[in-house]
Amino acid sequence: MAVTLYTSFTRSSISSVRLSPKLYSPIKTHFQVSPGLRFSPLTPALKLRITSTRGFCTVCCHKNNTPQESSKKDSGLNWRILKRWDVPWNWQTISLTSLACGLSIATIVVLAVLYSLTKSFSPLPDDIYRYDWREPFNFEKGWLLWAGIGLGGALAAIAVTGAAMSLFNGEPPQRETDALVRLLPLIGSSSISTASLLGITGILAPVLEETVFRGFFMVSLTKWLPTPLSVLVSASVFAAAHLTPGEFPQLFVLGTALGFSYAQTRNLLTPIMIHAFWNSGVILLLTFLQLQGYDIKELLQAY
């Protein structure tokens, strides 16, 4: 008597067939399995279980994963920097929030709008709007470690970008409308103005811009785009939002470094720290040069 069991086996798959009492008897039964699966003691990964319920005999066959198969399954590289965010909101929320942030001026107003419009999606995933001071030097997600790496990479990339622009343009662009030129009257004029400038550019601006451009906009783009492309798009918007065409390439490079560092750590403290060091460093350097008697405007034009 022969019973043919047609099944296809995949990893950890289970197949079963029921045999009626008429078929299940002490008579020696031969199983013919298709395709290519044999009930043999030489196949340790295959297990056969026979149970009887209400006069029916159930034959269950399942194939276990071998250690080699499990290692192959887990051998893929898991790059945090390429992983997308699990974004809970839709494009309508993104558009409305971006418009509200664009119309707002004060930092507190922008942050209030941002958090109020996304609060309805609570609880948010752990890696959205995350400010975590723990493990600053963890190699995988240490916010301070990757802030240093990102800042160093940004400085090197911006130096190369500036050299390339000077090489191809032949002469440095005019910077009459750049942000630094507009801030010249405040730089080094007094201790109060310098402290106020550092507070605004070194604390408020990084918190605001990184929360908006990286924490919200870049993360939202990963709902439809790969993370690297989302980093580049958000960096372009970040550079254009400064309304300084002469600095667009450098700001784009800086925004790219900020985006990739944030993608690695999933911690907003990383891009905020890079941004804060960048802004504060520029203000302190220009203040020092002005106190030494240098003409900052002339230096900026030469740069």
Question: Does residue 131 share a domain with residue 35?
Answer: no
Question: Does residue 126 share a domain with residue 61?
Answer: no
Question: Does residue 250 share a domain with residue 145?
Answer: yes
Furthest-apart CA atoms within the chain: distance in Å: 107
Question: Does residue 277 share a domain with residue 231?
Answer: yes
The pLDDT value given to residue 302: 63
Angle at CA of residue 224, ends 221 and 225, nearest 5°: 70
* 267 domain-assigned: yes
Question: Does residue 207 share a domain with residue 94?
Answer: yes
Measured CA to CA, the distance from residue 274 to residue 194 in angstroms comes to 20
Question: Does residue 35 share a domain with residue 110?
Answer: no
* 73 domain-assigned: no
* 100 domain-assigned: yes
Question: Does residue 271 share a domain with residue 159?
Answer: yes
The pLDDT value given to residue 32: 46
The pLDDT value given to residue 143: 95
* 121 domain-assigned: yes
The pLDDT value given to residue 242: 85
Question: Does residue 234 share a domain with residue 144?
Answer: yes
* 75 domain-assigned: no
* 74 domain-assigned: no
- Name the residue with tokens 């995933």: 125
Question: Does residue 189 share a domain with residue 99?
Answer: yes
Q: How many domains does the chain divide into?
A: 2
Measured CA to CA, the distance from residue 41 to residue 232 in angstroms comes to 57
The pLDDT value given to residue 294: 80
Question: Does residue 40 share a domain with residue 149?
Answer: no
Q: Which of 40, 68, 96 is the last residue of a domain?
A: 68
Quote the tokens at residue 232.
């580049």
The pLDDT value given to residue 90: 83
Model pTM above 0.75: no
Contact 143, 132 (CB under 8 A): yes
- Let me know if 133 is exposed, middle or buried by CB neighbors in 10 A (0-12, 13-18, 19+): exposed
Q: What is the DSSP letter of 183?
A: H
Structural domain span for residue 174: 82-302
User: Residue-wise pLDDT tens for the chain (303 aa)?
Assistant: 444 443 333 344 344 444 444 444 444 444 444 444 444 444 444 444 444 444 444 444 444 444 444 444 444 447 888 888 988 888 878 787 777 666 555 667 777 878 887 888 888 899 999 999 999 999 999 999 999 999 999 999 999 998 888 887 755 555 544 666 677 777 777 788 888 888 888 998 999 999 999 999 999 999 999 999 999 999 999 999 888 888 899 999 999 999 999 999 999 999 999 999 999 998 898 888 888 888 777 776 665
Question: Does residue 156 share a domain with residue 58?
Answer: no
Among candidate residues 157, 180, 181, the one with its CA nearest the CA of residue 281: 180
Question: Does residue 132 share a domain with residue 30?
Answer: no
